[in-house]
Structure 1
Amino acid sequence: MKTKILTVLLLSSFLGFSQEIHEDLPYYEIPEYSDDFTAGTVAGRMVDALGFRFYWASHDLKATDLDFKINEDGRSVSETIDHIYDLSKIIVNSTLKKANDRGAKEEMTYVEKRKAILMSLKKASDILKASDDISEFKIIFGEQQIPFWNQVNGPIADAIWHCGQMATSRRASGNPINPKVNHFTGKVRQ
């Protein structure tokens, strides 16, 4: 068994794919969809789609990819990940009914930040899918409570948009997303 795992890791490294074991993080593939159509299952699926897109847009980035900018006026991929991290906290805090803190930034590595984003999105998705009233999940800034509707067109849509920017940037920096990733099905072709 150990020989098989080592062979897979060496082969994936040789082929240029990440050595991380995908079972450690959510969204290698999109989870199976619910048989029930509710506001919670639909909203949860939107977050799952974001998680899948982020997983692959941020998968196996090199230092040159993280530093890459399309132009001097734009964000680097690393700065885009920082922004998606902030958006993911707004998304999960809404489902936890927790206020957003615009305080000090945490010092995290790319790997730590990537994991935190994926875990936050998974937690938010799970909470949404279990809810029969997602109107209770407001975005809270201080005393201001913003309806869940703004979550859809705000942080969720914005983060999906930025995943597309990351995919474009990494293609331009010479490290495109794995061509076997199918965003329509949410699966990775074998």
Structure 2
Amino acid sequence: MKQFVVLFFLIISATLTAQNISEERLPYYEIPEYSETFTAGTVAARMVDALGFRFYWASEGLSEKDLEFQPSEDVRTTAETIDHILELSYIIVNATLKKANGKIDNSKLSYEQKREQTLKNLKTAADILRASDDISQFKIIFGEREVPFWNQINGPIADAIWHCGQLASFRRSSGNAINPKVSHFSGTVKD
């Protein structure tokens, strides 16, 4: 019996460690170090990094109650807002990958998978932007229509930041406020 109890605790500990490692591997627990130089690419990347950080913490640790929260009937639920931010993250990353946007079915993904994909999309986009000398090449492509990078700033990036604020408000209203140790100003988490 004693061996069973020890084995049980080892399995539980390994599972919790694996979950923590998995969570730590998601981008944007903190904002990456800023670049030493100011270029269009490094500034645009920092904007996407800030979005990633805000999304990470606005969407971290949501319960089923949080995901179902809806302030009124004519407003998206928290889960629907996360879906929308995921869609925006595809527009952001597709521009940096020079890919056309199309319909992506995310309906079978769990909340955790949607969150992870959003964060990975944003990290990929930020890394490409950071290394670029000319961000004008990253157009938003809808079929045959190409839209300049300017629209990326006031469109998907700004819209996704706006919706992260909604997530923060919604989760506060459903009783699960963002970790108070998060500093949006510094992009870090206080110990």
Query: TM-score, normalised on structure 1?
Result: 0.89
Counterpart for residue 33 of structure 1? 34
| Aligned-pair CA distance for 1:24 | 1.6
Q: Work out the CA distance in 2 between the residues paired with 1:91 and 1:45.
A: 13
- CA–CA separation in structure 2 for the residues paired with 1:106 and 1:73: 21
Instruction: Looking at secondary structure, tell me which structure has more helix per residue.
Output: 2
> Aligned equivalents of 1:104 and 1:57: distance in 2?
23
Deviation at 1:71, TM superposition (A): 1.1
Q: What's 2:77 paired with?
A: 76
DSSP-derived class of the 1:145 partner:
strand
Q: Percent identity?
A: 65
Distance 1:153 1:182 in 2: 24
**Partner of 1:161 in structure 2?**
162
The 5 A counterparts of 1:147-186 are 147-186=148-187
Q: CA deviation at 1:102?
A: 2.6
Give the count of matched residue pairs. 179
TM, length-normalised to structure 2: 0.89
Alignment partner of 2:141: what SS?
Answer: strand
Q: Structure 1 residue 6: deviation in Å?
A: 3.9
- 1:109 matched to 2:113: no
Residue pairs, 1:3-14, within 5 angstroms: 6=13
- For residues 50-86 of structure 1, the C-alpha deviation after alignment (integer angstroms, 9 at most, x for no partner) is 0000000000000000000111110000000000000
Cα distance, 1:187–1:104 mapped onto 2, change above 3 Å:
closer
Match of 2:65 in 1: 64
Q: Is the 8 A contact 2:27 2:120 kept in 1?
A: yes
Look at both structures and tell me which one has the larger radius of gyration over its CA atoms: 2
- Counterpart contact for 2:29–2:53, Cα < 8 Å: yes
Q: After superposition, what is the alpha-carbon deviation per residue over 1:117-172, rounded to whole angstroms, capped at 9, x for unaligned?
A: 00000000000000000000000000000000000000000000000000000000
Instruction: Tell me the amino acid that sits aligned with residue 49 of structure 1.
Output: A
Structure 2: 5+ residue stretches without partners: 1-8
Question: For 1:75 and 1:63, how far apart are their aligned partners in 2?
Answer: 15
Question: Which structure 1 residue ranges, 4+ long, deviate > 2 Å from structure 2?
Answer: 19-23, 102-106
Q: Match of 1:43, SS?
A: helix
Give the secondary structure class of the aligned counterpart of 1:140: strand
**3-state SS, counterpart of residue 94 of structure 2:** helix
